[in-house]
């Protein structure tokens, strides 16, 4: 079992998994039917006849088989990654700007979550569903002359997910900033064409 957590800073933001046993408060999902999730250690698992559905901004939905079961709030600079025992499958990302979190799903199972930075009022992060257009382990923004390690480009005008120093009071120019080690793990999972859903629930 691989569980990675990095902690820096002291600002409490949101709970990583305060959804036990309901799914809705953290991800805004509605159950497909009667749901009796099972919490066993590091993961909350849903029965096959009760997978909750996350409705995305494009109207499509994604079924969720399991979620990470965090026992404490996530703070700025924190992340949780646990893909032990999770089979291969399609990977997609959900960014919730209102909760300032990002979750990674593989084959319907959440394998990573973190607190993010996003665009300030002058340069807001766009909402919607975006395919990863390009990847680069090392990249420098030509517009802002800034390093963007483990960059996953989402839009033609440069909005991307990339490593950043995630701290309270910081913002981006529209990108989604994640902790460096989380960015490395995410980069290893995502391929060009994988979808990123950005919401503000």
pLDDT in tens, 122-137: 888 899 999 999 998 7
Q: Read off the pLDDT band of 105 (50, 70, 90).
A: very high
Q: Read off the pLDDT band of 139 (50, 70, 90).
A: low
CB of 167 within 8 A of CB of 97?
A: no
Strands 109-115 and 101-106: antiparallel
Higher model confidence: residue 92 or residue 18?
92
Residues 92 and 107: their CA atoms lie apart, in Å, by 9
Beta-carbon-side half-sphere exposure of residue 198 (alpha carbons within 13 Å): 21
Beta-carbon-side half-sphere exposure of residue 153 (alpha carbons within 13 Å): 13
Domain topology for 4-199: L,D-transpeptidase catalytic domain-like (2.40.440)
Q: Is the confidence at residue 4, as pLDDT, over 60?
A: no
CB neighbour class for 104 (10 Å; exposed up to 12, middle 13-18, buried from 19): buried
* pLDDT tens track for 66-86: 999 887 788 888 999 999 999
Strands 195-199 and 128-131: antiparallel
How high is the pLDDT of residue 171? Answer: 62
CB of 62 within 8 A of CB of 129?
A: no
* pLDDT tens track for 19-71: 333 344 445 554 444 455 566 678 999 998 889 999 999 999 999 999 998 87
How high is the pLDDT of residue 148? Answer: 72
Question: 72, 71, 75: which is closest to 41 by C-alpha?
Answer: 71
Q: Which residues contact 193 (CB under 8 A, 6 or more apart)?
A: 131, 132
How high is the pLDDT of residue 114? Answer: 93
Residues 160 and 182: their CA atoms lie apart, in Å, by 15
Query: Phi and psi of 120, rounded to 5°?
Result: -80, 180
How many residues belong to the chain? 201
Going from N- to C-terminal start, the domains of the chain cover: 4-199
What's the pTM? 0.80
% of the chain with per-residue pLDDT over 70:
71
């Amino acid at each position: 079992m691989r569980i990675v957590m990095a902690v820096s800073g002291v600002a409490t933001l949101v709970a990583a998994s305060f959804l036990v046993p309901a799914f809705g408060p953290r991800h805004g999902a509605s159950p497909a039917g009667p749901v009796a999730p099972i919490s066993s250690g590091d993961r909350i698992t849903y029965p096959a006849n009760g997978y909750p559905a996350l409705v995305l901004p494009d109207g499509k939905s994604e079924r969720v088989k399991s979620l990470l079961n965090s026992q404490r709030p996530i703070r700025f600079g924190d992340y949780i990654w646990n893909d032990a025992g999770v089979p291969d499958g399609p990977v997609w990302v959900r960014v919730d700007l209102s909760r300032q979190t990002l979750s990674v799903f593989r084959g319907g199972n959440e394998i990573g979550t973190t607190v993010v930075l996003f665009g300030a009022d002058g340069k807001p992060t766009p909402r919607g569903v975006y395919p990863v257009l390009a990847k680069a382990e090392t990249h420098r923004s030509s517009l802002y002359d800034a390093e963007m390690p483990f960059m996953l480009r989402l839009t033609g005008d440069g909005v991307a997910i990339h490593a950043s120093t995630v701290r309270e009071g910081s913002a981006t120019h529209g990108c989604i900033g994640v902790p460096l080690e989380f960015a490395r793990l995410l980069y290893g999972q995502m391929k060009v064409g994988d979808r990123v859903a950005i919401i503000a629930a």
